[in-house]
Amino acid sequence: MIFAKKAMLAAAGVAMLASAVVNAETIEVKGQGVKFAPEVIHAKVGDVISFRNMATHFVESVEGMWPEGAPKMLSAMGADYDYAVEKEGVYVFKCPPHWGARMGAVMVVGEPADLDATVAKYLEVAESVKEAKPAKGLLKKFKESGK
């Protein structure tokens, strides 16, 4: 009896995972000059963010502007890179060599209940942490875009 319940739960979990994979999308982000295109991304858990045209770029998470427990982004210089989204939330990432020119992007995954509070917290980080300062303009652009 216990084995049957465990087997049913496992089958249900596999079915849910398969459903998420079937509904997953690949969202392409390109390095164009010293910008990511697009700069504002809306994704779902299970989607893959596909970085292309990265000849003089790489991608890295912005510290303090990342959902807790979500895997960090870090690619090699000049390499295409795929990031599988595992967790709902607000993500800010950058191209470190071009971060001074504000080369970064904001990604919202799912529909986080605390979206406005998270953006406000990230803006505070941008004000107080020198390394995060370039994110301020991206976050303002994101807020103005109507989310």
- Flag whether 103 is marked binding: yes
Burial class (CB in 10 A: 0-12, 13-18, 19+), 94: buried
Q: What is the pLDDT of residues 82-95, one digit of tens each?
A: 999 999 999 999 99
Domains within the chain, CATH numbers bracketed: 2-144 (2.60.40.420)
Q: What is the pLDDT of residues 135-145, one digit of tens each?
A: 999 999 888 87
pLDDT band for 5, please (50, 70, 90 cuts).
low
pTM: 0.83
pLDDT at 9 (0 to 100)? 47
- Flag whether 57 is marked binding: yes
- Flag whether 42 is marked binding: no
- Flag whether 8 is marked binding: no
What percent of the chain is predicted at pLDDT more than 90?
A: 77
Q: Confirm if 115 and 98 have CB atoms less than 8 A apart.
A: no
Q: What is the pLDDT of residues 33-58, one digit of tens each?
A: 999 999 999 999 999 999 999 999 99
